[in-house]
C-alpha cells in the first residue's frame, strides 16, 4: 500500500515547530507549493560548510526516506539549491543553523 502524503505546507510548519522546540534555528528560504511541493533541507554548520537533504523513494521498503544528497562548502550547496529551484518552481527550501549538523530528520514522525 502506498504511503499517505502530507501536504508540503503542513509538513514544513510541523518540522519548523519541532526544530524550534529543540532550539535549532530554522528558516524557510524558499516557499514552494503548499500542497505538492518537494522539500530540500540545508543544514549550515556555521563553519563555511553545509549539507543538503532530500526525500527519495526507497524501492526496497516503498517508503520515502531522508538522505543526505551532498555535503560541501556552503556556497556549493547554495548553487545546487539554485539549480534545483530553477527546474522546480514548487520547491521548498528550509535552512537550519546547527553547529553539530543536527537536522532531526532521523527522528520518528519526520519520514
Cα–Cα dist 80/42, whole Å: 10
Residue the block writes with cell 549538523 = 101
pLDDT tens digits, 46-91: 999 999 999 988 778 777 789 999 999 999 999 999 999 999 999 9
d(Cα 98, Cα 105) in Å, to the nearest integer?
A: 13
- The pLDDT value recorded for residue 3 is 54
Indicate whether 18 pLDDT > 90.
yes
Q: How many residues does the chain have?
A: 111
The whole-number average pLDDT for the span 27-48 is 95
pTM over 0.85: yes
Instruction: Evaluate whether 12 touches 29 at the Cβ level (below 8 Å).
Output: no
CA distances in angstroms from 55 to 22, 23, 95, listed in the order given = 22, 23, 15
Q: How far apart are CA 22 and CA 44, in angstroms?
A: 16
Task: State the chain's mean pLDDT as an integer.
Answer: 91
Which residue is listed with cell 556549493? 76
Asked if residue 1 has pLDDT above 50, the reply is: no
C-alpha cell at 76: 556549493
Here the cell at position 80 is: 545546487
Cell of 95: 535552512
Amino acid at each position: 500500500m502506498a504511503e499517505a502524503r502530507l501536504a508540503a505546507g503542513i509538513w514544513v510548519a510541523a518540522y519548523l515547530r519541532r526544530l524550534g522546540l529543540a532550539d535549532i534555528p530554522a528558516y524557510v528560504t524558499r516557499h514552494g507549493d503548499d500542497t505538492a511541493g518537494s522539500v530540500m533541507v540545508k543544514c549550515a554548520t556555521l563553519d563555511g560548510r553545509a549539507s543538503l537533504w532530500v526525500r527519495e523513494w526507497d524501492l526496497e521498503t516503498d517508503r520515502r526516506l531522508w538522505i543526505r544528497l551532498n555535503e560541501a562548502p556552503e556556497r556549493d550547496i547554495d548553487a545546487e539549491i539554485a539549480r534545483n529551484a530553477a527546474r522546480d518552481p514548487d520547491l521548498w527550501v528550509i535552512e537550519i543553523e546547527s553547529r553539530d549538523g543536527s537536522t532531526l530528520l532521523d527522528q520518528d514522525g519526520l519520514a
